[in-house]
Structure 1
């Protein structure tokens, strides 16, 4: 980037210096022997050729730097997002990230590729021309140099006045993007409730807010653009009057006056473009500042000297976790010996899924410790920890690829036979057989082209292929029809066999196969023991079981 900026500055200086040759050219043309202009014209042509080569190289360098910047930012941005706590991704932030990852990063790339060269040229070339004027006639040069601080002051004042408006426009853009994402994701619920018109008004309001913010941006930019135009025109008028005065007094030749006016006219275009370039640079700077804020957000810390767990037992030791102002998990202690199964049950909002997220280190605990193989998960390398764990969520997300590609996410280097075996164990093979494209069938964004049960089978096959020693199950069958539930249960049984399992379930029939059950309510463990023990006690779990069986 520094080399590119330096090359662009040299190019702008070369452009300004090439105009200095117009003075002897016009002087010869208006003199007694116009033929004397030929060598100066040749020199001017050579200077223009040098400028053209420099301009080509600087523009090419700008595009290369922009492409490298875009590629590097995409990788850095994506890698950093993957290390941030899951809780950071609220609906509003998803919209913000969508804007930054799309238009935002392209704007950042555009700074080097499209904005730097004209901006540097608009600043450096007129300054070089002013220096040329000073070299040929100090009076004309001094008159032209007065415009420099005036233009700088206008640009500075415009930038300050536009800062708040630009920030508001960016905020409205993010809000509208989040509303669009929310509106599209909520279509099934909105249509079922007959409230699409109401939601459309909310979306429409956010889009109208963007329109109003855009109008304010334009109105705020107008004074600066008008002032800049007036300043440039005033400079040209002053040079015209001064040149005419000096020429009439015999202090300067007509050719020199004409040359200075040509140089002044050449200054006008880049100076007038500063208004537009300044606005685009401010917008890009705002995007870069937001990118920097995201990249500056501290990810979950990694241990300097990570410890590799030896076993696959799981322990929650006096774990507490707060989300905002609410305590989600409060002083929970549980242990799951290697190869055994723990079921966590309780009412909605009790903190069950949070326990799984803490174990997978989607968040860090506020107090206590979560251990795998006797080692605090904070002391385990992130990749090593995730290699130990296979997770099957209630809401399965599939990438917009083929079924086989989604299964292979569990272990990309697996042999075809291993992929087919995992699919058969998850009863995914019967789904593949009835699809026209077989393994090459596209699943759509998020797996939208498959049913919920089919997506779950893909998820289970993925977990089976990963062959991790610890399995986390989160409400896997809570929203499935009986046929899919039976198939998924069979796949889950194969997945759990011989592994350490922590499962969250609402349908308590899946809990009967657990070695230990913990009943969670309000973030605290109310009861724990085996299924039969808890039924004999007649406590909260027994009541929960009776309600479940009655349903």
Structure 2
């Protein structure tokens, strides 16, 4: 468990974690030794001179006080380590998730990542703060007391020691038998979380279909599976809980019988038997708690395993010796890219000279948006090369590449903050005048004027308090503020009303001026001013040329143009 924890966290946390474990172990030993002083205390109290118990009582009080100080320090160290590890884990997980390929984030992982990054991290990092101390105490304190029993009377000590392997075997067996049930419970929980998210996202569809009063079958089925998995997990844990309880009770009963026989035979005094039974009773509580602690540790270990799996997922490799692009021309050289079983780009080659505009059109699913994602290195190609400024994007550092590219997507995501905070994502250290200038160029100032709060108006989670056109203006203002030499536009006006489309077009024209542009569009009127147009279908370039040349050729592009312009 500790090795897995350190692997997940990174070895820079090894020393503080080991110090905390050592302090907790010392505290558990001190607890056992403090309990050991009960033997001479009881021997004196039940002997011929009860007053002789005073020195032992004072020593016992001092030992308890020392144990209390150690316990306070170990618990405090555990909490401090836990909060430090939690902060470090969130930073490490966040940095790693930001470096993973976009293709890794499929629909299945929405629920998994949300659970792992939320309660999963809290549960895993809570091991140090909440679970490690009681677990060490439940293991080390009874062993210390058994060692004291061996010193007091070897026969009773051996009888107590015989219970140790039995308890260990039961714990190991319980852990192994629970592994499958725990894994199933976790999987069902992640699936249910994904279904809850799906249910919330599907509200517009459900309400449009008049289905709001009906049960959402997929979510209901998922929740029933969670219930069944929880029931199976509880039933699987019962044999271990019952077995541990019986083993502890049988060990105590055996010590009681053996102690009584030895006392009746005159081989040991009644006070010694009573003291050892008190010590044995003191062992019972932490041993019985192992069932509960073990279950929580298994859950934490499972979460650590999932975190480890995420952190061991390889991000896109960074170049050892990054190269600087020479200019801002773009090139696809015999690019082949597969997404799952589907070939999205099949031997694709094209180039965009610096300062020119390329429009990419074609049917849905033809691979248009993938071109933009390959340029931004959201994925790596399977073969061929994507070049920016004559340099393969795999040889450019991520920071240098993204500094040269501004992207405006069809679906704009805004963070739950103010409009100004969302615009400043383009260039956080821009001056107020530069932010206002970018907003004016994107015609975002019109939106700000009518919003209560103006620049300080909250946009809501995902920009829910703004319309689609307003969100798009924020996105364009953000790209304008970034002032990157390469602009990638992905269907930015396909879902806008005419008024917003006109405003957004004005902002886009400002954004594209003097820059290298790749524009993906369904509304072909937006590609008329492109220097070159390519028609993409099934990952291959079917036609390429200027807008007028392709219309005169009467091929796929001309048919597509006629179809879209004829649509109302």
Match of residue 104 from structure 1: 120
The 1-side partners of 2:204 and 2:546 are apart by: 40
Of 539, 554, 557, which residue of structure 2 is paired with 1:523? 539
Of 53, 57, 73, which residue of structure 2 is paired with 1:41? 57
The 2-side partners of 1:422 and 1:236 are apart by: 78
Of 91, 113, 119, which residue of structure 1 is paired with 2:135? 119
The 1-side partners of 2:520 and 2:472 are apart by: 15
Match of residue 5 from structure 2: none
Match of residue 323 from structure 1: 339
Cα deviations across residues 200-219 of structure 1 (Å, max 9, x unaligned)? 11101101111111111111
Q: Is the 8 A contact 1:91 1:182 kept in 2?
A: no
Please state if 1:460 is matched with 2:500: no
The 1-side partners of 2:351 and 2:201 are apart by: 38
Partner of 2:37, secondary structure, is helix
Q: Normalised by the size of structure 2, how large is the TM-score?
A: 0.96
**What are the within-5 Å matches in structure 2 for residues 389-400 of structure 1?**
389-400=405-416
Q: Is the 8 A contact 1:320 1:366 kept in 2?
A: yes
Partner of 1:315, secondary structure, is strand
Match of residue 500 from structure 1: 516
The 1-side partners of 2:134 and 2:484 are apart by: 55
Match of residue 217 from structure 2: 201
Gaps of 5+ in 2: 1-16
Match of residue 249 from structure 2: 233
Please state if 1:405 is matched with 2:421: yes
Please state if 1:436 is matched with 2:436: no
The 1-side partners of 2:228 and 2:154 are apart by: 49
Partner of 1:91, secondary structure, is coil
Partner of 1:401, secondary structure, is coil
Partner of 1:353, secondary structure, is helix
The 2-side partners of 1:307 and 1:267 are apart by: 65
**What are the within-5 Å matches in structure 2 for residues 374-393 of structure 1?**
374-393=390-409
**What are the within-5 Å matches in structure 2 for residues 206-225 of structure 1?**
206-225=222-241
Partner of 1:230, secondary structure, is helix
The 1-side partners of 2:146 and 2:217 are apart by: 56
Match of residue 451 from structure 1: 467
Match of residue 306 from structure 1: 322
Q: Is the 8 A contact 1:352 1:504 kept in 2?
A: yes
The 2-side partners of 1:479 and 1:501 are apart by: 21
Partner of 2:363, secondary structure, is coil
Please state if 1:476 is matched with 2:488: no
The 2-side partners of 1:537 and 1:51 are apart by: 90
Of 52, 69, 77, which residue of structure 1 is paired with 2:68? 52
Please state if 1:167 is matched with 2:183: yes
Partner of 1:525, secondary structure, is strand
Shift of 1:198: 6.5
Shift of 1:307: 0.2
Cα deviations across residues 502-551 of structure 1 (Å, max 9, x unaligned)? 01000000000100000001110000000011011010001111111111
The 1-side partners of 2:38 and 2:439 are apart by: 78
Cα deviations across residues 95-115 of structure 1 (Å, max 9, x unaligned)? 100001110000012100000
Cα deviations across residues 89-132 of structure 1 (Å, max 9, x unaligned)? 11210110000111000001210000000000000000000000
Please state if 1:335 is matched with 2:373: no
Gaps of 5+ in 1: none
Please state if 1:272 is matched with 2:288: yes
The 2-side partners of 1:110 and 1:53 are apart by: 22
**What are the within-5 Å matches in structure 2 for residues 348-359 of structure 1?**
348-359=364-375
Partner of 1:391, secondary structure, is strand
Runs of 4+ in 1 over 4 A off after TM superposition: 195-199
Cα deviations across residues 315-342 of structure 1 (Å, max 9, x unaligned)? 1111110011110111111111111000
Partner of 2:169, secondary structure, is helix
Of 167, 176, 183, which residue of structure 1 is paired with 2:199? 183
Shift of 1:69: 1.1
The 2-side partners of 1:64 and 1:482 are apart by: 57
The 2-side partners of 1:514 and 1:18 are apart by: 84
Q: Is the 8 A contact 1:183 1:199 kept in 2?
A: no
Q: Is the 8 A contact 1:321 1:365 kept in 2?
A: yes
The 1-side partners of 2:252 and 2:383 are apart by: 71
How many positions carry a matched residue from both structures?
A: 551
Match of residue 511 from structure 1: 527
Q: Normalised by the size of structure 1, how large is the TM-score?
A: 0.99
